[in-house]
Amino acid sequence: MSIILGIDPGTTTTWFAVIEKQGRNVIILNYWIIETTPKECIENKLCDIWDDIKDIISEYNPDICGIEKLFFLKNLKTWIDVAQSRWTMIYLLAKAWIPIVEYTPLQVKMWICGNWNALKRQVQNALKIIYKLDSIPTPDDAADALAIAYITSLSKKLI
């Protein structure tokens, strides 16, 4: 049995998914969002993220974590803030000796749907099948965290 954490990072919203792998089966233990106040200064957001990550590590004690890489640059300030948020998460995971695997959004789509250009809805539908859910996971950022957790469950670092 392994506990896997998947993270779709951000500064105002960060999605987390925790799954359990038992043999070939994976089950969702939890997925949720951590929200910070949009107009809050970055240092306060990072403190909130720090506290939340410490709580997640303490509660779930994950064996491995998958996290989305920063892939494109639309807005430099946003990109830098998200990079700082990711660094905060990665630092705490590394301090807890939790192995980290990073994926670009395109890699996640390819692993889940077999298509680099898959739409968010296609990823959600694939996850519905993978996790044997009654409906697609929503919103789509939650699906991203669940997808990252699932492909991390296939990682050689977990073996």
144 belongs to the catalytic site: no
Q: Which two tokens stand for residue 152?
A: 């991390």
Q: Let me know how many helices (H) and strands (E) the chain has, helices first.
A: 5, 5
Question: Inter-axis angle of helices 76-95 and 42-60, to 10 degrees?
Answer: 30
Q: Is 59 exposed, middle or buried (0-12, 13-18, 19+ CB in 10 A)?
A: exposed
Which residue among the candidates 52, 63, 141, 144 is catalytic per the annotation?
141
Which of 52, 63, 68, 144 is flagged as catalytic? 68
Q: Is 81 known to be catalytic?
A: no
| CA triple 43-44-47, angle to 5 deg | 90
Catalytic status, residue 68 = yes
Residues 6 or more apart whose Cβ sits within 8 Å of residue 11: 36, 42, 45, 49, 78, 81, 82, 84, 85
- Select which of 8, 52, 63, 144 is catalytic: 8
Report, as residue numbers or ranges, the catalytic residues.
8, 68, 141
